[in-house]
Amino acid sequence: MATAPVLDSFDRAILALLQQDNTLPQRQIAEAVHLSTPAVQRRIKRLQDSGVIAANVAVIDAAKIGRPLTIIVEVRVVSEQREKVAPFRRRVQDDPAVQQCYSITGDGDFLLLLSAASMEEYEAITERLFGADDNIERFRTSVALGTLKRGFDVPLS
């Protein structure tokens, strides 16, 4: 496992600003953190190259584009052997409805966060992901009734 880069107070201040709005001009970031624009550019590049900044993306309100359902699915597999779960992992990575997937401890083995336009679509998703897989022991579904908080901000303390 790669060693995490050492972050100083400038890096943390830059990251805090980018977590709020990654479209901020670097000149504006430089003014806010009291560095030159070239210094901010170098730091952002280093943070990207090291993987600290994993992606620069737009967060879309799924309901506003016709995908109002957020569905959380806990999956339990029969065997956790690499070759047994590999097909499931590939399907999860390739399926556009899967927004996030975590390998977890506890009663389940995986936790998926899905986006769906309807319950009919969700049924099709479950068929694609779990239907013909003998290694899926069970899956349990929860449908989000509302959103209290949504975000990807990482505490920088």
Per-residue model confidence as pLDDT tens for the chain (157 residues): 567 789 999 999 999 999 999 999 999 999 999 999 999 999 999 999 999 999 999 989 999 999 999 999 999 999 999 999 999 999 999 999 999 999 999 999 999 999 999 999 999 999 999 999 999 999 999 999 999 998 889 999 7
Q: CATH 3.30.70.920 in the chain, residues?
A: 62-143
The SS3 of residue 57 is: coil
CATH 1.10.10.10 residue ranges in the chain? 9-49
Q: Is 0.95 surpassed by the pTM of this model?
A: no
* CATH architecture classification, 9-49: Orthogonal Bundle (1.10)
Measured distance CA(55)–CA(151) in Å, rounded = 14
First CA to last CA across the chain, in angstroms? 22
The CATH code of domain 62-143 reads 3.30.70.920
